[in-house]
Amino acid sequence: MTARNRELFALIPASLLLTAGFAAVFIQRDDLLSDLSLTYGAIFLALCLAAHLVLRMTLPDADPYLFPLVAVLACFGLVMLYRLDEDFARDQAQWFVVGLIVFTVTIVALRRDHRILERYRYVIALGGIVLLLLPRLGSPVNGAYLSFSAGPISFQPAEIAKIAIVIFLASYLRDTRQVLVVGARRFAGITFPPLKHLGPLLAVWGTAMALLFVIQDLGSSVMFFGGFLALVYVATNRISFVVIGLGLFALGARVLYAVRPTIEARVDAWLNPFDPDLYEREVGGSYQIAQSIFSQADGGFFGQGFGAALVQLGDNPPLLPAAHTDLIYAVITDELGLLGAVAVLLVYLLIVQRGFKTAMLATDSFSKLLATGLTVVLALQVFVIVGGVTKLIPLTGVTLPFISYGGSSIVANFILLALLLLVSDRARREAMAT
């Protein structure tokens, strides 16, 4: 069977999931089947098929599982959002259309050779940094500068910037990885990279630190810096570089912890979520993380069922704040239980596996590093938000890719998927040719 036929078959579970999910929400709500919402479902499936046709024409040899896995997540996210609020689901469906258009445009533009991106690496890097600084023009939300509003559209530039930075790093490290290794000096038992190439790396570290200081977004910085370290490690195979990087990051985070009260509050809320004072605190308290945990505790092994989680009662303040964005994983655990939550994690893990597989198949360094970097930032994004929601690490606001409500997240992650598929198509074709 060809790769694309496998993809087509793999889309069947996604469509079944969507149908079953909507049915479950209807049963729970005790409503008559609404034509309108079924139409949304049908349109969504048609869109998936359209994207499949685009891939069939443009990237015939690309990995057959990546797109269906993403479609499963997206369908699932749509059902969850529909269950929370029909308006969210409608907006999200519209963003999916935008996301798929951007996805198609990216593929069509780069299908001849995605390595053309290397030529623009400094422009892309600069663009990424500018994007990150944009929210600083606005006002902070919960102490962090995360989103930028232009008229009615508000978007989170960190989502796009993460891709820009990965492209830059992949290209830069392809250039310098040899000299980084060859020129390395051992000092006090630790291997240090050569000084003249240290500059740009320190610049990346500086950027991550600056992110922390300027936009005060711990989640995004962890994502960027983690992606950076992963790429340095893959490019040089030197664990010592990673250790140095982690040390520098820890240093920066420690300084920030001492300087910025919002970060300290986050950590306090993480360590003592059930402290009554922190729980009652209006801003920067532990109410959100405590409610997240209570919600998960309601789920148990099998969950309470679609639509059964307590999220909001009438016009009262929400019991579970940001249920459609940051805390959507808590709602999933509540309604589908440990079983459903772990299933979602497994889907992400499969995507990560396909991403790394693509990186390993790729023949040129840039493509390898690009696929690795994109996969790592995706994995880290899942880790940062799910880890935050489950109290493994302090809670910071990033989206759960393809599931959380949010236009910039959908668009950015579709670009990420397009790049992975571009790398995959070339790599698999070359692998088959040899």
Partner 1 sequence: MNAPILKLFVLVLVLFAALAGMTSYNSVINADEYRENALNQRPLLKQALVKRGAIRARDGSLLARSVRGDDGIYSRRYSPLARRFSHVLGYDYALTIGRAGLEKSRNDELAGAGTELSSIVDDLSGKRQVGDNIVTNLDSRAQQVALDALGGRRGSVVALEPATGKVRVMASTPGFDPNALRDPQTFTRLNREDNSPLFHRATQAGYAPGSTMKVVTAAAALDSGQFTPESTVSGESPIVVSGVPLNNFSNAQFGSITLTTALTNSVNTVWARVAEQLGDGEMAKYMERFGFGSDPPMDYPDEQMLPSGVYDAEQELLDVDSGDVDIGRVAIGQERLRVTPLQMASVVATIANGGMRMEPRIASRIVDEDGRTVERVEPEEAERVMSEESAAQLTQMMSNVVREGTGTAAALQGIEVAGKTGTAELNIPQNLNQPWFVGFAPRSNPKVAIAVTLENIVGAQGGIVAAPIAKRVMESLLR
- Binding-site size for partner 1 (CB under 8 A) equals 52
Q: Which stretch in 49-57, 121-129, 383-391, 425-433 sits in contact with partner 1 by CB under 8 A?
A: 383-391
Tell me whether residue 40 or residue 306 sits nearer to partner 1 (CB atom).
306
Nearest distance from residue 307's CB to partner 1, in Å? 11
Q: Enumerate residues 6+ apart whose C-beta is below 8 A from 339.
A: 301, 302, 303
Tell me whether residue 55 or residue 311 sits nearer to partner 1 (CB atom).
311
Alpha-carbon span 169 to 118, nearest angstrom: 10
Strand 190-192 to strand 148-150: parallel, antiparallel, or no bridges (unpaired)?
unpaired
Q: Which stretch in 104-112, 119-127, 183-191, 390-398 sits in contact with partner 1 by CB under 8 A?
A: 390-398
HSE-up of residue 260 (Cα within 13 Å, Cβ side)? 24
From residue 82, give the alpha-carbon distance in Å to each of 22, 44, 77, 236, 339. 8, 13, 8, 46, 21
**169: enclosing H helix or E strand:** helix 157-182
Which residues from 267-286 bind partner 1, rule CB under 8 A?
274, 276, 279
Which one of 4, 83, 368, 426 is in contact with partner 1 (CB under 8 A)?
368
* DSSP annotation of 318: P
Which one of 199, 301, 432, 433 is in contact with partner 1 (CB under 8 A)?
301
Tell me whether residue 184 or residue 215 sits nearer to partner 1 (CB atom).
184
Q: Could you tell me the two tokens for 371?
A: 């696929």
333 is an interface residue for partner 1 by CB under 8 A: yes
CA 238 to chain centre: 26
Neighbours of 280 (CB within 10 A): 10
305 is an interface residue for partner 1 by CB under 8 A: yes
235 is an interface residue for partner 1 by CB under 8 A: yes
Alpha-carbon span 184 to 323, nearest angstrom: 48
Nearest distance from residue 395's CB to partner 1, in Å? 12
342 is an interface residue for partner 1 by CB under 8 A: yes
Tell me whether residue 131 or residue 293 sits nearer to partner 1 (CB atom).
293
CA 112 to chain centre: 27
Alpha-carbon span 348 to 416, nearest angstrom: 14
**41: enclosing H helix or E strand:** helix 35-58
Which residues from 119-178 bind partner 1, rule CB under 8 A?
none
360 is an interface residue for partner 1 by CB under 8 A: yes
314 is an interface residue for partner 1 by CB under 8 A: yes
Burial class (CB in 10 A: 0-12, 13-18, 19+), 288: buried
337 is an interface residue for partner 1 by CB under 8 A: yes
Q: Could you tell me the two tokens for 393?
A: 């690490």
376 is an interface residue for partner 1 by CB under 8 A: yes
Nearest distance from residue 66's CB to partner 1, in Å? 15
318 is an interface residue for partner 1 by CB under 8 A: no
* DSSP annotation of 364: S
Tell me whether residue 85 or residue 298 sits nearer to partner 1 (CB atom).
298
Alpha-carbon span 419 to 412, nearest angstrom: 11
Q: Which residues bind partner 1 (CB under 8 A)?
A: 30, 230, 233-235, 237, 274, 276, 279, 290, 293-301, 305, 310, 313-316, 319, 333, 337-338, 341-342, 345, 348-349, 352-353, 356, 359-360, 365, 368-369, 372, 376, 379, 382-383, 386-387, 390-392
